[in-house]
């Protein structure tokens, strides 16, 4: 279903009721402007997007970040000591 922004303004309640049954495209200057969806349809779209991301549509960079692990406590301390020494050497 399509309505103009003027029609939306004049019949907001009716348009919202219709959007619960099917998406309503709101046009402005004869161009698609926004789409009004039911909460259920929106939740379904969000779930599908999440599922798509979890099933492999991640970029290589995102996959690397997801696979990153936190170093062991001893390694963290060693890295911090090395960093402090490097900073100290630059400031000396």
Name the least confident of 5-9, 39-43, 54-58: 54-58
Question: Over the stretch 46-55, which tens digit does the pLDDT of each residue have?
Answer: 888 877 767 6
Query: What are 28's strand-pairing partners?
Result: 31
Helices (H) and strands (E) in the chain, counts: 5, 3
Q: What is the distance between the alpha carbons of residues 84 and 29, in angstroms, rounded to a whole number?
A: 61
Q: What is the distance between the alpha carbons of residues 65 and 75, in angstroms, rounded to a whole number?
A: 19
- The 3-class secondary structure across 33-56, one letter per residue, is EEEECCHHHHHHHHHHHHHHHHCC
Percent of the chain residues topping a pLDDT of 70: 90
pLDDT of residue 64: 76
Question: Over the stretch 61-91, which tens digit does the pLDDT of each residue have?
Answer: 777 777 777 788 898 899 889 988 888 877 6
The pTM assigned to this predicted structure is 0.54
pLDDT of residue 68: 72
């Amino acid at each position: 279903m399509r309505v103009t922004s003027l029609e939306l303004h004049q019949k907001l309640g009716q348009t919202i009721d219709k959007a619960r049954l099917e998406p309503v495209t709101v046009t402005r200057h004869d161009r698609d402007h926004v789409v009004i969806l039911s909460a259920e349809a929106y939740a379904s779209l969000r779930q599908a997007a999440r599922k798509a991301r979890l099933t492999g549509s991640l970029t290589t960079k995102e996959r690397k970040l997801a696979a990153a692990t936190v170093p062991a406590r001893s390694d963290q301390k060693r890295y911090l000591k090395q960093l402090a020494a490097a900073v100290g050497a630059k400031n000396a």
